[in-house]
Structure 1
């Protein structure tokens, strides 16, 4: 707001304000005459009036400094308005009625002179003699941010009153804006509010400069009238009204911020006391701090003051709504640029160094300090990457509009806008994810102890502001640089791809004989119940098997492979995950149901306890893989869990295949090959046993071949191709997880119906293999009965026992084949090769 001075006014007087002696004498004579009349009238009204005006012709033009309106300023600042404040307070006030009568009896030119002096008071927010506070104004009850209203309390000429009432809103605007600056300069309102107040304060300096120039003209120019005053302040009225409307919106947006300081200090004291007493774990503290900080309980969300991104959003919305007014657009654009300086500064720091310096929670990115990189080693939810640094509005790339969740404050009840830093400025809405990721990438590099190097243009040398295109180019450059640096660290320095290959080799059992060696060495130990298995012994046997098998680059990472024993059967656990809405609750993969009665959950726990008692070591065996940060971001606990599921699935197939192969070797013995022509029924029974065993073995081998050659290998090749072309870290993480999810889906481990049918079928095969010795014993008895020729009384029982397995296998095999065929034609086209493979397994005629 440029000061509008009378001598600088376009089209004004051509002469300077330097007057000739004749003009000066004429002007001072007029002013002296006006003040003499005012002095005489005031003497008649009030005996206490002190000070007179020297009106002699000889002393005309010389001011008497005993006159109350011109008491000498004692300070070094010679401000006429300051001297008037002192004079005004020293004057005893007359009764209102008498003063009104006096002003009403004066000529228009004298009324104008008196009202001009009062207006100069009012423009600074000071009550005048004839222009006073509104009768309803109360300093104790009224909100100072609404401003002080002034009224003309004396009868005044209609033309003067009209002009005066046009100018009076300036006093209201000035007092409201000054109160806003004073209140919003408190520390709790954040750096953005401070910058906004500084920008408005600079504009008020121009306004005060204008007032001082107007007062100089009032004191020195006899032609300075109320009309001229209105001409000079008219543009300022519009400018201050725009600032006043912004101040009102900012002041009314936060409903109850009065108790913010006390409540926040009490919360800090409680947190410090709880931490000193050791109350609550890290996660409990985090939840409590989120609730206290963001006010998640109903109306507490309104306690968050208007600060940070919300202030910028309000300014930007007003600028857009009033884009048709050039003055408003320029004013709000200036305020947006000034208020956004600290926000942009925090943004620069975050996107260029990975450090989040946000003392007042104003930035769109927030940090959960209780989450450390050590959580990656034990936590299945990967909290460090997903929750250490997040957007305050709760949105993610997977769920852009997810806002109403834990840690996200509720929106304002009136505007629906998220409060405080959770409100992302509209100008940055499309860039928020890149802002978050740029800082996260660099933060990972810093956590590794590597100094962050910036190779793009220095941000300090650039003129970046909220509405400047350079800011978006800077964010893009920072994101690209951070992404490229972290990719370099993961793929080359940390050897990510070789580690993924070792994971594939060990967990997918591809081109590796270590598992066969391990099963042979630990055969006795794995026959024990799962809870009785010695982890130390199994780990030593695994190390021995890996040392004899690992070659090349796989040998570099064999020490990262560990033994793990699960407490739940694979298929039962997968069925619970699919059929029950729950989450993984710990390392053992326990399920936490969302609903259900206490009795039902107790029955499920009892059933799970019984299953764990019956679970053997071979069924609970799994592998684990340990990596250090930052590789743990890619090979995280979530991905390791997926690898473990696939490993246990393949291991069970290998185990059943090995059992049926052992049964086949047993059937090559003399008992099963010796002819029994005199006992045709026994011959037929023995043939049916061998046929059922062959069909089961063929089924297991077809499933194993399909998962290995039709699912895992092609998907792994696709993943390797993607990793060579990957351009972003998030794409790398997404491709890795997508690869594992695709493998789980195509291995039929994500469909409850397919999994239930398959588990029944594979359990039937494994149970049949367990009866190898029983069938051999029955065959021996049948041969003995055939040699004796006395008849075989146990043949009926043998047929009954065999038909149970045949019926069970035929039923579940047909059911499984139909399910696979249905899903292959409707949902999962990748199962078509399995349909062809299963069709080759002929049922007995």
Structure 2
């Protein structure tokens, strides 16, 4: 973030030190005015005078020292560290002529801490212009000097009048020294003042002074805070506010970048939050963020303000905290209503559920029928424009046409299998695959393995339905789509088996194949039932109910993300060991379904059918002599071996799934439901 540099003390403050009084503290060795103000060597040592005369001289020098000016017998010794135009005083000390009367030396040294504090304060004010110490101290020195000129002031009286001011000035000098050495500004100065005020709780005068300074110093800061929580504007020309804006993060990234940081980092908290705002800093940040979202939507809104809601002071009554809470409630409610009502968040989520979670699957059945030829092609041969046209046709030809959001649905073809895609999403915490071969792509990956749906999401709904959220929906869709494809293929195989029931196939390979087909179909149907009715539907309704009572858009994001993560895990997508087993079983089912035509044709000695449909197969089979069919079945031992091989592999994979489910269900209780649905499949013969 580019900020305007803080204005510095004008250069002439250093080029012309007579304007500031700085020349008074310059050492005689380095000052270009040293010759004008140094002793010429004719000055007698103060010890040469009587004690009464010494007292008058010392009082005159002490009065000069109180305003940072060296006297004839009192000098200033300083060690200065210079950085740029700022002079940071690490130590300032006053020294007296060694020949001075010891009693006078002792009295003068008691007042020196006050003088040293003033020098540090004055130097800080003139170089940094951060504090205003007022005229009380200088007025006191002027009055003391007046009394001295009238002959009414003794050294003891001078000490008496200076004593009450010493502690306050030392406290101020301590604050200034810490601020100078650490180059504090903004909230760091406020924290320093507050901590020093607490440290001086036993001295009511000093504590009141520091609290007053804190109050004055915080006025400008609270002005910045007020604009942020009431308007969503950062009016911070000198980069002192504790909220930073990263303008390089644009809202468009929410729909383009899986790892978009816009919502979390466009506005963020900086270090050095004022202590009196530390507990509510997150609320302050969120309030301004919400107002900015509404402004980005073209919805100009400003939190209602009144004289009672001004944030120009803070104190023990915590009124400023109540004002911030009211501003947060207003901004949160306005944004939530805007997204829910004007942009129909729930309608969009329900539409996504219809299509990507297959809540309304009639369009998908029609699409899979008309797009079968395109989906069976290899990746580099697929025409995505043609798939999109077929998808639009399927949407317009089914009940989905009544959905006003159906035009936001698009299709896409991924470049990798589901397993490999899952492994690339590190934030999902998918456990690593134990075998490197698991990451290898199938030899002939087609559109059936990589097809996916997408959804057009506009601002500000992209805050909730971001690229990351949409990717999670797509992962679930791809898993469901693959299951649906397997189910359709097995249903086709089952229809072929039903077509030969008119023949006497009892005890033949076909009857065994029919049992295997039924087991496979039961497995995939049980899996789909678990995914839809045991995982997606209950979790969706739980999220829907929670969204009815949310108070802010961040709660919406939290519940929506929780829903997606829970669905991913319960759909086995975050459990690679189980996912691999299920994918292997689905592959076996597809291989078997593809081989069914050959198995039955070989068994009953039927040449390749001209028509692929089951009804045509049935018509042709009925013209064959049953005795010829029986003879062909008994003759073809190869068919029996193939069916037995499919059966062994399927049952072995299914049985190996049992121990994994039993073990995993201890840590993942929802797997108990899956085990109940599918573990009995292998026993069906």
Q: TM-score under structure 1 normalisation?
A: 0.70
**2:475 maps to 1:645:** yes
Mapped partners of 2:354, 2:68: distance in 1: 81
**2:172 maps to 1:243:** yes
Please give the residue correspondences for 1:327-366 in structure 2 after superposition, counting only pairs within 5 Å: 327-366=205-244
The 3-state SS of whatever aligns with 1:623 is strand
Residues 660 and 165 (structure 1), Cα distance of their counterparts in 2 relative to 1, 3 Å cut: same
Please give the residue correspondences for 1:433-452 in structure 2 after superposition, counting only pairs within 5 Å: 433-452=282-301
Please give the residue correspondences for 1:824-843 in structure 2 after superposition, counting only pairs within 5 Å: 824=665, 826-843=666-683
Please give the residue correspondences for 1:263-282 in structure 2 after superposition, counting only pairs within 5 Å: none
Residues 65-89 of structure 1 deviation map (CA, whole Å, 9 limit, x = unaligned):
xxxxxxxxxx9xxxxx9xxxxx998
Mapped partners of 1:138, 1:470: distance in 2: 43
**2:452 maps to 1:659:** no
Residues 525 and 482 (structure 1), Cα distance of their counterparts in 2 relative to 1, 3 Å cut: same
Residues 515 and 155 (structure 1), Cα distance of their counterparts in 2 relative to 1, 3 Å cut: same
User: What is the deviation of 1:334?
Assistant: 1.9
Residues 281-334 of structure 1 deviation map (CA, whole Å, 9 limit, x = unaligned):
xxxxxxxxxxxxxxxxxxxxxxxx532222222222223333333233223222
Match of 1:631 in 2: 461
Match of 1:751 in 2: 575
User: What is the deviation of 1:781?
Assistant: 3.7
Residues 323-366 of structure 1 deviation map (CA, whole Å, 9 limit, x = unaligned):
33323322322222222222222211111111122233322211
Mapped partners of 2:633, 2:370: distance in 1: 42
Mapped partners of 2:251, 2:79: distance in 1: 59
Contact 2:290-2:331 at 8 Å conserved across structures: yes
Match of 1:675 in 2: 504
The 3-state SS of whatever aligns with 2:135 is helix
Please give the residue correspondences for 1:612-631 in structure 2 after superposition, counting only pairs within 5 Å: 614-631=444-461
**2:183 maps to 1:233:** no
**2:546 maps to 1:722:** yes
Q: Which one of the candidate residues 506, 528, 535 is aligned to 2:384? A: 535
**2:191 maps to 1:313:** yes
Mapped partners of 1:503, 1:695: distance in 2: 33
User: What is the deviation of 1:496?
Assistant: 0.8
User: What is the deviation of 1:459?
Assistant: 7.0
The 3-state SS of whatever aligns with 2:453 is strand
Residues 472 and 485 (structure 1), Cα distance of their counterparts in 2 relative to 1, 3 Å cut: same
Instruction: Decide which moves more: 205-214 or 236-245.
Output: 205-214
**2:47 maps to 1:104:** yes
Contact 1:567-1:612 at 8 Å conserved across structures: no
Residues 243 and 789 (structure 1), Cα distance of their counterparts in 2 relative to 1, 3 Å cut: closer
Q: Which one of the candidate residues 509, 534, 545 is aligned to 1:710? A: 534
Match of 2:97 in 1: 153
The 3-state SS of whatever aligns with 1:340 is helix
Match of 1:566 in 2: 414
Mapped partners of 1:561, 1:527: distance in 2: 22
Match of 1:93 in 2: 39
Mapped partners of 1:794, 1:314: distance in 2: 97
User: What is the deviation of 1:463?
Assistant: 3.9
Residues 343 and 335 (structure 1), Cα distance of their counterparts in 2 relative to 1, 3 Å cut: same
Residues 707 and 391 (structure 1), Cα distance of their counterparts in 2 relative to 1, 3 Å cut: same
Mapped partners of 1:514, 1:478: distance in 2: 46
Residues 795 and 99 (structure 1), Cα distance of their counterparts in 2 relative to 1, 3 Å cut: farther
Residues 525 and 125 (structure 1), Cα distance of their counterparts in 2 relative to 1, 3 Å cut: same
Contact 1:550-1:558 at 8 Å conserved across structures: no
Residues 169 and 611 (structure 1), Cα distance of their counterparts in 2 relative to 1, 3 Å cut: same
The 3-state SS of whatever aligns with 1:645 is helix
Q: Which one of the candidate residues 148, 171, 178 is aligned to 1:218? A: 148
User: What is the deviation of 1:374?
Assistant: 1.6
Mapped partners of 1:180, 1:612: distance in 2: 74
**2:114 maps to 1:170:** yes
Mapped partners of 1:109, 1:122: distance in 2: 20
Residues 788 and 367 (structure 1), Cα distance of their counterparts in 2 relative to 1, 3 Å cut: closer
User: What is the deviation of 1:204?
Assistant: 4.3
Contact 1:145-1:177 at 8 Å conserved across structures: no
Mapped partners of 1:140, 1:509: distance in 2: 71
**2:148 maps to 1:205:** no
Contact 2:603-2:633 at 8 Å conserved across structures: no
Mapped partners of 1:730, 1:114: distance in 2: 73
The 3-state SS of whatever aligns with 1:542 is helix
The 3-state SS of whatever aligns with 1:145 is strand
**2:347 maps to 1:498:** yes
Contact 2:604-2:629 at 8 Å conserved across structures: no
Match of 1:276 in 2: none
Match of 1:812 in 2: 653
Residues 17-53 of structure 1 deviation map (CA, whole Å, 9 limit, x = unaligned):
xxxxxxxxxxxxxxxxxxxxxxxxxxxxxxxxxxxxx
Contact 2:76-2:94 at 8 Å conserved across structures: yes
Residues 363 and 807 (structure 1), Cα distance of their counterparts in 2 relative to 1, 3 Å cut: farther
Mapped partners of 2:126, 2:302: distance in 1: 42
User: What is the deviation of 1:481?
Assistant: 0.8
Mapped partners of 1:234, 1:567: distance in 2: 83
Residues 663 and 790 (structure 1), Cα distance of their counterparts in 2 relative to 1, 3 Å cut: closer
Residues 829 and 791 (structure 1), Cα distance of their counterparts in 2 relative to 1, 3 Å cut: closer
Residues 528 and 547 (structure 1), Cα distance of their counterparts in 2 relative to 1, 3 Å cut: same
The 3-state SS of whatever aligns with 1:771 is helix
The 3-state SS of whatever aligns with 2:411 is strand
Mapped partners of 1:365, 1:140: distance in 2: 31
Mapped partners of 2:406, 2:629: distance in 1: 59
Q: Which runs of 5+ in 2 are unaligned?
A: 1-17, 19-23, 25-32, 607-623
Mapped partners of 2:225, 2:349: distance in 1: 35
Match of 1:695 in 2: 519
Residues 808 and 573 (structure 1), Cα distance of their counterparts in 2 relative to 1, 3 Å cut: farther
Please give the residue correspondences for 1:415-426 in structure 2 after superposition, counting only pairs within 5 Å: 422-426=271-275
The 3-state SS of whatever aligns with 2:44 is helix
The 3-state SS of whatever aligns with 1:99 is coil
Mapped partners of 1:138, 1:428: distance in 2: 35
Match of 1:324 in 2: 202
Mapped partners of 1:325, 1:837: distance in 2: 76
Mapped partners of 2:631, 2:545: distance in 1: 70
Contact 2:287-2:327 at 8 Å conserved across structures: yes
Q: More relative contact order in 1 or in 2 (CA 8 Å, sep 6+)?
A: 2
Match of 1:119 in 2: 62
Contact 1:147-1:173 at 8 Å conserved across structures: no
Aligned residues: CA RMSD: 3.2
Q: Which one of the candidate residues 303, 318, 326 is aligned to 1:469? A: 318
Q: Which one of the candidate residues 387, 404, 411 is aligned to 1:556? A: 404
Match of 1:371 in 2: 249
Contact 1:521-1:541 at 8 Å conserved across structures: yes
Q: TM-score under structure 2 normalisation?
A: 0.86
Mapped partners of 2:166, 2:342: distance in 1: 64
User: What is the deviation of 1:462?
Assistant: 5.0
Mapped partners of 2:246, 2:633: distance in 1: 77
Mapped partners of 2:41, 2:81: distance in 1: 22
Q: Which one of the candidate residues 581, 589, 604 is aligned to 1:765? A: 589
Match of 2:638 in 1: 797
Residues 456 and 719 (structure 1), Cα distance of their counterparts in 2 relative to 1, 3 Å cut: farther
